[in-house]
Amino acid sequence: MRPATGRLLVLATVFVCAACGLVYELELVALASYLAGDSVTQASVVLSVMVFAMGAGSLLAKRLRPRAAVAFGLMEGALALVGGMSAMGLYACFAWLGQSRPALVAFSLAIGVLIGAEVPLLMTLIQRIRRQDAGGAVADLFAADYVGALVGGLAFPFLLLPWLGQITSALATGAVNAAVGGAVVLWLFRRDMSPRARYALLAGNALVLAALLTAATLAGPFEQAARRAVYGDAVRVALRTDVQEIVLTGRPGQPLALYLDGRLRVSERDEYRYHEALVHPAMTGPHARVLILGGGDGLAAREVLRYPDVRSVTVVEPDPEVVRLARTDPRLSALNGKVYGDARLRSVTAEPFGWLRRSAPRRAYDVIVADLGDPCGAAGMKLYSQEFYGLTRRALAPGGRLSVHAGSAGKRPRVYWTVTSTVRAAGFRTAGLRVPSDRGDWGLVLAARDGVPVLELPRGMPRVRWLTAARLRAAAAGVGAAGPEVAASTLVRPRYPG
């Protein structure tokens, strides 16, 4: 083979290996963020551990250069196996052991060591094809490496994840990694290895590919078993959307529960306490036009639409599948009172922050209900920032009220008081509620655009299951009038812990 052709094949191998390496990295970050939340922390753990390990792998490769061909083949087989199985292993640790951080560190360390050894070994191999100055060889290798990283980084979110999902994407990437790494060594550098080494390397790669293929075949049953380990045997609906994983549990005779990205968002046992306290105190005063941010399950809208003088309700939900289930699932639509059949309700599929900024009419709503997820984590921080509440204030009519879910006032009081301080920093006056539940408590913040919010039930409030004037007073007393002095959270200075 001509040296130029061999050199081009080695650079193509660098390209493929770099793309595979970045897919492993992004897959670990994505899955860890889904399992544990707080994508900033998960990305920091993966990147810092992996970069450290890459340095260790580069040092390790110095000892392997005399047998660079065999070492590179073995490294690529090990990387394909570890990287390909990493998503399945991480999910298994979360499902059956209840934690994923140790596995995340272990996989990041192992993958980083193996990736770090690639370039020094490839540098040795490419010089065996045709000698050139070290600077030129390094420039060629790193150019191929960076372009491969670009392709892998774009392929993961736009192709692999939507088409194959996290587990199968990692397995398919491992298969490509093993096939390309083994092929280039066995073809281009077969004369650098003994017959025994060639057969051993060929058998090892075949075993790796067989293991990855077997795992891909079992990926579906594995996901079902892991889901049962996390949610129990009562799973009725489980689907992965572009936004999150949605799971509905509750067989006939069992209470309905809705999980979003593994976190319980709705439990039929006690959701009415939360939604009644979130909505009805905010309805004291004008409430003809109501905006609900989040709340695609329709449960907050159910409470709002109990008022006959409500003229319009707009629900801004980022995940259309949540709205579809709220419309069509018999149990969930029964729980929300079939609100999506009410002509007064309009649903919008949009991310709440962007929608408020671009599309929300100014001073249009008498009441805004922020029925959003947990404040902690990178995604939640944006929707609990001073900028976000500033946008809600702009959308409120004079005298309007804002009601906010603010985490737990008992288990995580600092988070609750950070939300309160952030709402106040946006120009609101606030009052707090602590609503008991079987799983702890909910912290709520009622805010007024002008004046002081009044913690009382509205006149003519429809009949509800739990909320009374006495319970409203008890919920307010559970929080207290004052809290610790904490800084407001902004987009550039987030204050919520991970």
In sequence order, the 6+-apart residues with CB closer than 8 A to the CB of 69 are 125, 185, 189, 192, 193
Asked whether 448 and 428 are in contact (CB, 8 A), the reply is yes
CA distance 71 to 186: 12
Structure tokens at 137: 């060889």
CA distance 483 to 446: 15
Is 456 annotated in a binding site? The answer is no
φ/ψ bin of 399: left (φ > 0), alpha (ψ from -120 to 50), beta (otherwise): left
Is 297 annotated in a binding site? The answer is yes
φ/ψ bin of 455: left (φ > 0), alpha (ψ from -120 to 50), beta (otherwise): beta
Please indicate whether residue 371 is annotated as part of the active site.
yes
Asked whether 366 and 285 are in contact (CB, 8 A), the reply is yes
- For the chain, the residue count is 498
CA 490 from centre of chain: 20
Catalytic residue among 319, 371, 374, 441: 371
CA distance 446 to 429: 8
Instruction: Give me the helix-helix angle, 386-395 and 413-425, nearest 10°.
Output: 50
CA distance 209 to 63: 27
Place of tokens 């804002």: 402
Place of tokens 């879910």: 405
**What percent of the residues of the chain are helix, what percent strand, and what percent coil, each to the nearest 5?**
60, 15, 25
φ/ψ bin of 310: left (φ > 0), alpha (ψ from -120 to 50), beta (otherwise): beta
Asked whether 402 and 370 are in contact (CB, 8 A), the reply is yes
Strands laid side by side in the 257-260 sheet: 235-240, 245-249, 257-260, 263-267
235: β partners: 249
Asked whether 464 and 280 are in contact (CB, 8 A), the reply is yes
Cite the DSSP H helix spans in 359-487: 378-382, 386-395, 413-425, 469-479
Is 223 annotated in a binding site? The answer is no
Is 275 annotated in a binding site? The answer is yes
Alpha carbons within 13 A on the beta-carbon side of 392: 35
Known binding-site residue numbers for spermidine: 275, 297
Which residues form the catalytic set?
A: 371
Known binding-site residue numbers for S-methyl-5'-thioadenosine: 244, 317
